Each structure stands twice: as structure tokens, then as C-alpha cells.
Amino acid sequence: MASTTILWLRRDLRIHDHPALWAALDCADDVLPVFVLDEGVYRGRWASADRTHALLETLRELRGALEERGGTLAVRQGDPAEVLPALVAEIGATEVHATSDASPFAIARDKRVSEALKEAGAGLVRHPGMFCADISKIRTKDGRPYAVFSPFGRNWAEAPRREVLNAPEKLKSPDIEMGAIPTVEDLGLTPVLTGPLPAGEAAARARMEEWLSDGVERYKDLHNDVARSTSRLSPYLHLGSLSARELEERVMQIPGEHPAAYRRQLAWRDFYAHVLLYSPTNTRTAYQPKFDALEWVDDPEGWKAWCDGTTGYPMVDAGMRELAATGFMHNRTRMVVGSFLTKNLHIDYRHGEEWFMKLLLDGDTSQNNGNWQWTASLGVDPAPYFKRIFNPVLQQRKFDPDGVYVKRWIPELKDVPLKRLFEPWTMSEAEQEASGCVIDRDYPGPIVDHKLERMRAIERFRAVAEPPQD
């Protein structure tokens, strides 16, 4: 009788460079790849209809790719701690192979599944495949996890790497009911994005090839220019339709400082996953506990203006509108809007974190949390709080000097002269009429004064960082 094993897919939705897939193929005649749609994920704390849509499209494509190779993909709905033991019994498997993940949710889920499988007489075997390096093994000299990026990055660059693997040419799956892949509407969810990126491994690989042949060679100089495209591979890395390790390997084959700078960005991804692995409470509270005492402001109007992209600061508004339309935002703009929310509107960073998770196609617990805490100056890689208060006008002058990005996302500003585009409210009445952009009629005036709010932010942070001594 043919031996059969299970490949439990989660955020590793690809056939290229897949260690768990190869391990499953190596130990049995038949492999059953299975994805379990867990309501806890698609309706949970960080749920996103658009990310779920991308996930379902990726699964559809993956099923096709597996079928081309003689296998298939089973899809089930339910709790993996119930579904997987049932499948193990149905096909007589004794092992379930999976790719390790680092979030507290994934770790708790895997523990539950592992216990349930044990009772069913099977084992959960975990493999690498999510990150470039083994993030659990990178430690400081005294054996502790890192909390500062630069030394982590140096250690990471030298850490051992696994070999990049080809896609298998053939695989055989057992003949069982495969299960329909629902649409996002079947799950009762309504996507909101009007222009999301195409999903799936083929699109991911096409984008990687395009980026490696045209883009990465200018990365170091241009990656902060918000009108230009960075690689836009993050949504694919998030679902694992592209392997970060394979991307790194391909980048390292290109000589020069630009690919090296790009590789370093991948180190940030591993860094934030490493941070959350060792500080799982970060998903609720600040990495630097003293900042849990910060008092945030309840400002429904400011919050709405931030979400809608109507703060009157073009760079902030362009970023928020880009996010709402595409599920993506340039990294520089993410920092600017994050700083504006937390240090100009004084609204709790966790609200921003949640809004991003709802809309971002790359929305990822560890990356989003790490970056929000960084931007709000209460996480790892600390800098004095007054250093990360971004001036949205200066940021726009520096990183969108020709106004291309701002005009792309804020049509109301399309005829505003460049010299006024950074502070449209300084236009004279005649300029406003001539450009068809009357302030507070066509486009809002600034909802707050950045300079004033900057001082308030400093006071608020100082009060908890350096409380007055009696």
C-alpha cells in the first residue's frame, strides 16, 4: 500500500523553494497538500476581506499548479485542530509537514494542532521556508534576542542559509474529496479595494523577474522616492507565494551596492519576525513598557480625516488614499502617516495598526506591529522620541519633489502650482480659483498645526519617558 503524508499549507502558498513540500515528498509515495480555511483568521482580530480575497485567488492558482504536476490541493473549512486529525485518519497518514511561522497566533495554533495530532497518532513536523535565515538562532553574544536592527543585520548577513529548492516536477496525491475553494463573498466578506495587485505565485515570480531586471539596480538611490515603485513584492512574501530566501539568493547574485541595499531590507523583515517571536506581548502592549503609560487622545474627527485622506497635508492624504485604493502604501509614506497619527493627532498607534491590517495586502502581524511601534517610538530599535516626528511638508518636499505622487492620489490638487503643492493652504485666493482648488471647498485646510502638535507630542512623550523627580 502506498504511504501517504500531509503537507499543511499556511503562509507558504507556492511550489518553488518549499522545504516542507520536499520533506513530504521525500518521506511518502503520496502527498496531500491541504489548506484549512480557519474562521479565526478570516474573521479574527486582524481580518481583511481583501487579503482573504488574495489568499483565495492564490489557492485557486496553487491548486492548478499542483494539478499540472499530477497532485492536487485539498481545501477544508474549520479548525485545523479538528480538520487535520480527521484527514490523518481518512488517508492513514502519520505525519503532517508544515512551514514554521513566528506570530503568537501561529505558535499557539500549532501547539494545539500538534497535541490533537498526537492523540490521533500523528506528528506535526515543522520546516523552514518563511524567512531568509533561521530567525530563532540569531542571538546577541550573550545569547539574547536582538532589539536593535544594525547588530542584528550584521549577524543576519553572516548567518547560515539553506539551499534554494526547485519546484518538484511531479507529485501524486491520494484520491479524496478535494473541497471547493469558496469565493470571498461565499465567506460573507466584502472586498473594498478598487485596484489590488494580481495574486498568486505566477504573478509573484513575474514581478520578481521584472524587478531583478529593471528596478533593483537603482534601489539604494531611489527607494525613498514615493512616486517610484519599489519591488512591491511584500504581498507575495506575506502569503509565501514567493520565498524570501529565493528572492535573497537571486538578489545576491547581482553585484553592487543597490542589490546589497535591497537585501538589507529583507533583513528588516526577518528582524521584526525575530522580535515578535521573542516578545509576543508586543501585539498588545509597547515593547518599551514605560510607554504603556502614554495617554492617547480620543479624536473621532481627526481619525476620520486620517482614514479618509482629508487631513489637508497632501503627503499624508496621498498615502491614505493609495492604501484605500490599492491595499499598498510606499514605506516612506507609511512612516509619515504613522507619525502624523501618533504625534500630530496623538491617536493610539494600535488604531493605525488595525486600520493598516484591514487594508494592507501585505498586512502581517509581525511586520505591521514592529513598524508601527518603531514609528510611534515605543518599540525596538529605539531612538529618542523627538527624532521620529516626521514633518509631512518637509517629507513631501524631499521625497515627492515634483508632486507626481501627490497629484496621482489627490486629483483636487492636479492644477495647483508646484511651489504651493507642499502647503496648498498658502495659496492666495486668486491662486486657489485659478487652480480650481479652493481650500476648505475642494480640498481641506490642515486639520492641525504640525509645529504645535510636534511640541505637544514631545511633552507627552517626555512626561512618561523622563517623569519629573520629586
Ligand X SMILES: Cc1cc2nc3c(=O)[nH]c(=O)nc-3n(C[C@H](O)[C@H](O)[C@H](O)COP(=O)(O)OP(=O)(O)OC[C@H]3O[C@@H](n4cnc5c(N)ncnc54)[C@H](O)[C@@H]3O)c2cc1C
Residues that bind ligand X (CB under 6 A): 223, 230-234, 237-238, 265-266, 268-269, 272, 331, 334-335, 338, 356, 360, 362-364, 367-368, 371-372, 375
Q: How far is the CB of 110 from ligand X (least distance, A)?
A: 21
Name the pairing type of β-strands 74-77 and 95-99.
unpaired
Q: How far is the CB of 294 from ligand X (least distance, A)?
A: 17
Q: How far is the CB of 357 from ligand X (least distance, A)?
A: 7
Q: Where are the alpha helices (DSSP H) in 28-71?
A: 39-42, 49-68
Q: 155 is written with which cell numbers?
A: 549577524
Sequential DSSP letters for 140-164: -TTSPPP-SHHHHHHHHHHS--PPP
Q: Which of 178, 219, 221 is nearest to 77 (CA)?
A: 178
Q: How far is the CB of 376 from ligand X (least distance, A)?
A: 9
Pick the closer one to ligand X by CB: 80 or 370.
Answer: 370
Q: Which amino acid, 64?
A: G
Measured in whole angstroms, the distance separating CA 222 from the mean position of its chain's CA atoms is 21
Pick the closer one to ligand X by CB: 35 or 272.
Answer: 272
Pick the closer one to ligand X by CB: 18 or 269.
Answer: 269
- Residue 19 CA to residue 99 CA, distance in Å, equals 8
Pick the closer one to ligand X by CB: 146 or 356.
Answer: 356
Pick the closer one to ligand X by CB: 65 or 323.
Answer: 323
Q: How far is the CB of 368 from ligand X (least distance, A)?
A: 3
CB of 311 within 8 A of CB of 444? yes
Q: How far is the CB of 334 from ligand X (least distance, A)?
A: 4
Q: Which of 167, 179, 171, 166 is nearest to 60 (CA)?
A: 179
SS3 category, 61:
helix
DSSP element (H, E) containing 317: helix 314-326
Pick the closer one to ligand X by CB: 152 or 372.
Answer: 372
Pick the closer one to ligand X by CB: 335 or 457.
Answer: 335
Provide the sign of the torsion angle of the four alpha carbons 345, 346, 347, 352, taken in this order: positive
Q: How many CA atoms lie within 13 A of 179 on its CB side?
A: 19
Q: How far is the CB of 269 from ligand X (least distance, A)?
A: 4
